[in-house]
């Protein structure tokens, strides 16, 4: 408590009480000394002289009452100040708690959004492309010296195309493309199906996988050409997703998906 932190009413009441008590004490002292002096001279006491101590006592009672009022007001004032300070601290703490809760909520939403994006990115298919050129087939036997050697399908030139993917990858699509060498035809118009004849050439009907390392594997297919007049440009695009865990990898058989080019 701060004894000097008083409002005007309490201060005025305190000053009045102090003045009244001091005045009563002075009057009692004066009356007492006067009575002692008169008794020493043998002067009989009068009604007026006897009223002097009574008046002083009344003044003391009044001063005590005023002082008690001032002290009670002081206590009420201090109680109000302490209550206001406590309310202010509680409001400050509530504001801090609310701000902390809001930050935690934003952080939680941000982490949840990051997790969702990460999961979406993991589920989004990645793609690997491999491209090569296959030359014309060279027959083992030449029947006409001036004619280009012709190959049959048993003498087809086979080229294996492989793409490296993570060992936990699950292949979702394998796109196959083939076009004559140096052809201006876009790749999007050169898509073929497994086993489709594209002019004495075709991709194998099936694809296969083989281990490359502990972290990678190869997804492969073979292109056959028994065309002795021209070569081919071929491309394989493998799309895959990363499985979240080894136990969750699906054992679905790998089936190439491709469209047929006219």
Q: Is residue 36 part of a domain?
A: yes
Looking at residue 42, the DSSP 8-state letter turns out to be: T
**Same domain, yes or no: 138 and 241:** yes
Asked whether residue 259 is domain-assigned, the answer is no
Distances in Å between the Cα of 224 and the Cα atoms of 64, 68, 200 are: 121, 115, 9
> What is the average pLDDT across 96-121?
73
Mean pLDDT of 203-227: 91
Sorted by sequence, the CB contacts under 8 Å of residue 155 that are 6+ apart come out as: 137, 139, 140, 226
Does a structural domain hold residue 184? yes
- Is the distance from CB of 137 to CB of 151 less than 8 angstroms? yes
- pLDDT score for 248: 47
Q: CB-based contacts of 163: which residues, under 8 Å, 6+ apart?
A: 128, 129, 130, 218, 219, 220, 236, 238
15 and 113 belong to one structural domain: yes
pLDDT digits (tens, 9 = 90+) for 158-207: 899 999 999 888 888 899 999 998 888 999 999 999 999 988 899 999 99
pLDDT bin (cut points 50, 70, 90) of residue 119 is low
Give the range of the structural domain holding residue 175, as residue numbers without chain letter: 125-248
Q: Which of the residue ranges 63-72, 113-122, 244-253 has the most confident prediction, judged by mean pLDDT?
A: 63-72
Mean per-residue pLDDT for 125-145? 76
Percent of the chain with pLDDT over 70: 63
Q: How many domains does the chain have?
A: 2
**CA Rg value for the chain:** 54
My answer on whether 144 and 173 are in the same domain is: yes
* Model confidence pLDDT, tens digit, residues 72-97: 777 777 778 888 888 888 888 888 89
254 domain-assigned: no
Using pLDDT thresholds of 50, 70 and 90, give the confidence band for residue 47.
low
**Which token pair is 219?**
């997804």
Residues 78, 132 within the same domain: no
> Of 120, 147, 179, which closes a domain?
120
Collapsing DSSP to helix, strand or coil, 156 comes out as coil
Spatial separation of the C-alpha atoms in residues 212 and 14, rounded to whole Å: 98
What spatial distance separates the first Cα and last Cα of the chain, rounded to whole Å?
98
């Amino acid at each position: 408590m701060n004894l000097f932190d008083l409002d005007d009413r309490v201060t005025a009441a305190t000053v009045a009480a102090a003045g009244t008590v001091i005045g009563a004490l002075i009057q009692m002292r004066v009356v007492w000394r006067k009575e002692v002096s008169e008794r020493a001279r043998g002067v009989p006491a009068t009604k007026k002289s006897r009223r002097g101590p009574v008046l002083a006592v009344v003044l003391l009672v009044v001063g005590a009452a005023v002082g008690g009022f001032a002290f009670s007001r002081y206590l009420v004032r201090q109680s109000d100040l302490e209550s206001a300070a406590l309310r202010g601290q509680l409001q400050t703490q509530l504001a801090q708690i609310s701000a902390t809760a809001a930050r935690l909520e934003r952080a939680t939403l941000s982490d949840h959004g990051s997790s969702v994006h990460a999961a979406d990115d993991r589920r989004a298919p990645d793609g690997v492309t491999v491209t090569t050129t296959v030359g014309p087939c060279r027959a083992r036997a030449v029947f006409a010296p001036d004619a280009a050697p012709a190959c049959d399908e048993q003498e087809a030139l086979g080229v294996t195309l492989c793409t490296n993917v993570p060992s936990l990858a699950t292949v979702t699509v394998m796109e196959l493309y083939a076009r004559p060498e140096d052809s201006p035809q876009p790749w999007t118009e050169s898509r073929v199906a497994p086993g489709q004849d594209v002019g004495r050439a075709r991709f194998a009907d099936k694809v296969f996988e083989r281990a490359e390392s502990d972290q990678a594997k190869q997804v492969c297919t073979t292109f056959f050409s028994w065309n002795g007049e021209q070569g081919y440009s071929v491309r394989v695009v493998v799309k895959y997703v990363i499985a979240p865990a080894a136990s969750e990898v699906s054992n679905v058989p790998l089936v190439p998906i491709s469209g047929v080019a006219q």
